[in-house]
Structure 1
């Protein structure tokens, strides 16, 4: 941004003051805002999704799934904002995380995995006596669900054989969020602000991504396949980014 400012304002390059740069950034932000307003109106939609607080929201292919905070999940159309279906959490247990695809919904309690067909309100599967405990987060890529736990381990659970296929020690602190890449990498954030990487193909932990800024809990993770970039959001309000091609 500074280079762009000097390119557009060559006389300012010899100045030691940052005031003009700051003013330029402020004017640029206002111009962009004005431009967005003049390009046409935008509609914002809001609706009451749950009688109690819903703490999680997932969006896939034009559908929005909301829940966690009460005893059911609700599916909505992002196009029409209309209610589509409701899914009851079995045994009145509290879900801690969930995700879905075009066919099913996978939910996690602290000690169980629950699966619903999107066309049916009742769960079709509940894992009984699972080998993990104190599950905090999950991510799934059919046929496997990866569960991040309080003890820093990640459990890979096969939804069809209904068994734990592998266990990875990602952190010495709780695993706060997870994502799975197309090339079989498991990425898990921690309360210490690090992101661990494990390879399902080799069964090895490959390394840890660290940030120099505010090492507080990583709360969200996203991986961009095309750019090989890992993005993370922390409880300190920072957005972090790593390029796996440089880190591994």
Structure 2
């Protein structure tokens, strides 16, 4: 099978960009668009062999400093347990259109229309809630983003709703366990409350992340 080379990567990216014109080609194999303080992306992940690629729909919040654009809330062509969620480089031309349609079906968020901020936040909430098992803290980053994204966008009501959901979940966690990196769950909750009250500070972080990751030309609704 053919290994994915730079020229082919650019051509494959262009084909996908043609199917999703509301997204910007940010890098080879990576399409992005921005909904306020959050990115929505389609990443065509190389496999280890570079003979296949894996289409992935995802998001990334810009409300916290992070060194890379993450594949949060990732959706592939099939569930993780499925045997095949990749496209062979040699079969790209025959398969990418059908794969794009399947990716749209799998994605929680729409790809051919712009998702609303409320839809994005709900996707984060749903994912975080689904991670809850027993009394151990879980879904931490997603819970954080569900609060900080609407706060940064100036939607205090939506942010407060998310915070209430986070507080309910945290109330079921063990008093002997805290989110990773925090000594106490209340300390973590207070950090979220502070962020909610500082939309200007969050907006400044978003702008810093836009500059840091060279996102100024990414399409924004």
Higher relative contact order (CA 8 A, sep 6+): 2
TM-score normalised to structure 1 length:
0.29
TM-score normalised to structure 2 length:
0.32
Structure having the larger proportion of residues in helix: 2
**Larger C-alpha radius of gyration, 1 or 2?**
1
